[in-house]
Amino acid sequence: QGVVAIIGPARSNVVKAVNYICSGLNLPQIAFAASDHSLFLSYQQYPSLLRLSSSGDSQSDAIMAVMEYFKWNKAVMITSSDDYGSMTLQRLQHASFDRSTIDIVKTESFPALDDPSLIDFTRPLSSLRATQVRLVILNCPGKYARQLLYVAHRLRMLSKDWVWIVSDAIAIQMNLFDIATEQPDYIVGLLSVVPSSTRAKNRGSFEARFLANGGQKPVNVYAYKVYDAVWTVAKALHNMKVNNETLAAPN
């Protein structure tokens, strides 16, 4: 089919499955969003994989650094029971073990159902509230955040004497709340970890074209990373043509 590279998928577990095929065909794969720690451990295991996002360790270290800066030494955590939630939970627990001054007092999880309205958020949130620790780390895909934060608000866990730190998957969710029609005051002040974005010189022109063709603003950070991935493949093909190099078909 003339495929020279594969960009994606987004989820780390699917990236691993696809890379098994890419490695066998010696086909480059560019992962624009995957952050699973194991993808960064061994080049030999994923020889054809190019990673554009930081490891989940970076997010864990950032959260720990915020806690150290404000001298917050206790936190509770709630995560989704999927690969994303469990991966970050493990990295945060490991990071807190390395810092004797920080204690993750309790963790709770909720099932990662397709429909967030079917999830009972009250039980795990009530369990965390009972610890009397007022710093909550929320780690889950963005689609769960809206309903969970609403339930937390009802339980009076988003008042001024509480602190919430939300993970990158929530921070980049473009439509978590529709700003034009709804902006609950209880989400004001949430702290979040945001992935780094492209610093390409032509970022502005890309954003203008993206929005002109129906894209929504703010532009999701991973849209920029996909743009970087496409640009990388295009640049490589251009350099091959300039140098009169050819692609060999896989065995």
Report the pLDDT value the prediction gives residue 15, as an integer from 0 to 100. Answer: 86
Q: Has residue 182 got a pLDDT over 70?
A: no
Q: Has residue 125 got a pLDDT over 90?
A: yes
The distance of Cα 139 from the centroid of its chain, to the nearest Å, equals: 9
Say if residues 169 and 141 touch (Cβ distance below 8 Å): yes
Q: Has residue 152 got a pLDDT over 90?
A: yes
Report the pLDDT value the prediction gives residue 214, as an integer from 0 to 100. Answer: 82
Banded pLDDT at 195 (limits 50, 70, 90): confident
For a pLDDT cut of 70, what percent of the chain falls above it?
Answer: 89
User: What average pLDDT does this structure show over 239-246?
Assistant: 86
User: What average pLDDT does this structure show over 2-15?
Assistant: 85
Per-residue tokens: 70: 């404000």
Total residues belonging to the chain: 251
Is it true that the peptide bond before 218 is cis, omega within 30 degrees of 0? yes
Q: Please, what is the average pLDDT of the chain?
A: 83
Cα–Cα dist 87/108, whole Å = 14
Q: Has residue 181 got a pLDDT over 60?
A: no
Cα–Cα dist 110/184, whole Å = 23
Domain with residues 57-192, CATH architecture: 3-Layer(aba) Sandwich (3.40)
pLDDT tens-place string over residues 51-105:
887 777 788 888 888 998 999 999 999 999 987 777 777 777 776 766 667 888 9
HSE-up (13 A, CA, CB side) for residue 149:
28
Cα–Cα dist 106/118, whole Å = 24
Banded pLDDT at 250 (limits 50, 70, 90): low
Banded pLDDT at 251 (limits 50, 70, 90): low
Biggest CA pair distance of the chain = 68
Torsion of CA 145, 8, 91, 187, to 10 degrees: -20
Cα–Cα dist 177/233, whole Å = 35
Residue spans of the domains in the chain: they are 1-53, 57-192
Cα–Cα dist 66/16, whole Å = 31
Cα–Cα dist 78/108, whole Å = 5
Say if residues 79 and 144 touch (Cβ distance below 8 Å): no
Cα–Cα dist 244/157, whole Å = 63
